[in-house]
Amino acid sequence: MTLPTVEIIVADNGANTALQLPQQVVQVVLGCSSKGTELVPYATTVASKLVDQFGYGPLVEAAGLVCSSGGVVIAQRLPINAAGTAKAVQFTGTGSSVITVTLDGTVGAFDDYYVRMDVAKGGTIGTAGIQIRVSLDAGRHFGPTINLGTANTYEIPNTGITLNFAAGDLDTGDKAQFQTIAPQWDTAGVQAAVNALAASVFAVQGWGSMHLAGPCAAADASTIQGYIEGLRTRYNFARILLSARDADAPTAWGGSGETEAAWMTSLETAFAATSAKRIVVGGGYYNTPSAFPNAAAGTPSYRRPGTWSVAARRVLLQPNNSSWRVRDGSLANIVVDPSTDPGDGFIYHDEAITPGLDDARLMSFRTWPKKPGIFCTRDPLMSPVGSQFTLLPYGNVIDLACTIGYETGVEIVGDDLLTNDNGTLQTDAALTLQNGIQGAIQANMGGMISNVVVAVDLSANVQSTGNIPVDITVTQRTVIGKVTETVGLSIPFGAPTAA
């Protein structure tokens, strides 16, 4: 026998009980961290609690931005599939000591760092007097001067990184720098996290948005689409923000110095065939201040995906609001230093100057003339050509309508309604149901949609099937992408004109 249920079918072309609707201020963040129980959802509004629970790493940093924005984060630590790594140290100077790096034996490097060590006062290794300064963000910020003393190692706190100094000396002005890469998750871990989330108490009311911290390949996006789609079986209708990889690091940091053109072409090619209506993939990395100061390195501005800043903004927006609404201002979590950024060797993609990612359905970032800061260009879903769900707000609106449709429809399951002799619902019973659903959507989404029409099928033989077919048609509010202004000069009658 088929279990009683409510089936929600999304077409791509008011109940008297309190609705448990997802709160937009709540965001699920998935990612790797240096400690903590894997997969178990943990909710907080306090950034410091994340450190207590999960230590350090991409999960804590991304979730911390949500807390700093005033949101509620549900954080889940993903299993580490590959420990963090470090590239070779690049040394500049005259000192003879060879500097190498060792990493935490379990986690590796805790996060993506661009570590730079400057020698503030030289001396012989093992002899007191050497002083160093450390940066985790490519020299943008340094912490206090550190006395190395007689030690031949220095552990940078809360990073998983230890600097090793071989016998010899360091001279004032010497520099050493290298890149680290954070621990990596895999899609099996994401699937396990999504399943654990769906089985948790947090799934009862749901959440407003989701964010996966860490670079995502095109194949990963397609796979994760299936996991998020699977949440529908528990009546959680969700979309998730992902980030494509950064351009490979400049040669000064041990990378290949990948060009912007090569990086863009790589992403556009990789995601060309991706079909994922519940996925937004961002392209572009920018300097983003951490919510967590480091005792040795100050308060770094790490190189993070622009997606992270959009994720932090989503907890402040209604589901129908676009992430690229200009009136909301530039993305506050991205800092721009026009005096140093252009010459630091990193790529700061500006879609307004070098277009291409937006056409490839990747969320990109841009500047606007006469407006300071970095803005989101658009927030496209990776939907196939012909889909109505081209933008995240359109997907969010239909998801909320589905949630309300479920919560109103489920109240009818097990009820007994009046029917006609031919098995169809009597008109009064059908109108009560129809008006209840339509009223609930209007009451909860009135400012998010242009219109909603609910129609109960009066021709269906409910008596024989036990099923009431209901059509819910939501008319979305239009997200404006262009304004065309024609400006002319009016010359009053009789005014002098040029000969």
- Evaluate whether residue 39 is within a structural domain: no
**In a shared domain, residues 160 and 274:** no
Cα–chain-centroid distance for residue 34?
A: 20
118's CB contacts (< 8 A; 6+ apart) are 132, 133, 135, 139, 142, 173, 174, 175
| Domain of residue 158, residue span | 85-181
| pLDDT single digits (tens) 204-239 | 989 999 999 999 999 999 999 999 999 999 899 999
Residue 438 has pLDDT above 80, yes or no: yes
**In a shared domain, residues 384 and 489:** yes
- Evaluate whether residue 314 is within a structural domain: yes
Burial class (CB in 10 A: 0-12, 13-18, 19+), 358: middle
**Domain tally for the chain?**
2
Residue written as token pair 């360091």: 170
What are the beta bridge partners of residue 332?
Answer: none
In the structure encoding, which two tokens stand for residue 253, read together? 């940091």
Cα–chain-centroid distance for residue 65?
A: 10
**In a shared domain, residues 215 and 176:** no
| pLDDT single digits (tens) 382-431 | 999 889 999 999 999 999 999 999 999 998 999 999 999 999 999 999 99
**In a shared domain, residues 226 and 350:** yes
- Evaluate whether residue 74 is within a structural domain: no
Residue 11 has pLDDT above 70, yes or no: no
**In a shared domain, residues 300 and 373:** yes
Residue written as token pair 């277009």: 355
- Evaluate whether residue 33 is within a structural domain: no
Of the residues 132, 164, 181, which one is the last residue of a structural domain?
181
- Evaluate whether residue 310 is within a structural domain: yes
**In a shared domain, residues 320 and 400:** yes
pTM: predicted TM-score of the whole model, two decimal places = 0.93
Residue written as token pair 């109505």: 388
Count of C-beta atoms within a 10 Å radius of residue 471: 12
What does the pLDDT read at residue 19?
Answer: 66
**In a shared domain, residues 89 and 233:** no
How far, in Å, CA of 76 to CA of 72, rounded? 13
- Evaluate whether residue 60 is within a structural domain: no
Residue 160's nearest CA partner among 105, 89, 79, 90 is 105
| pLDDT single digits (tens) 236-286 | 999 999 999 999 999 999 999 999 999 999 999 999 999 999 999 999 999
**In a shared domain, residues 251 and 158:** no
**In a shared domain, residues 101 and 212:** no
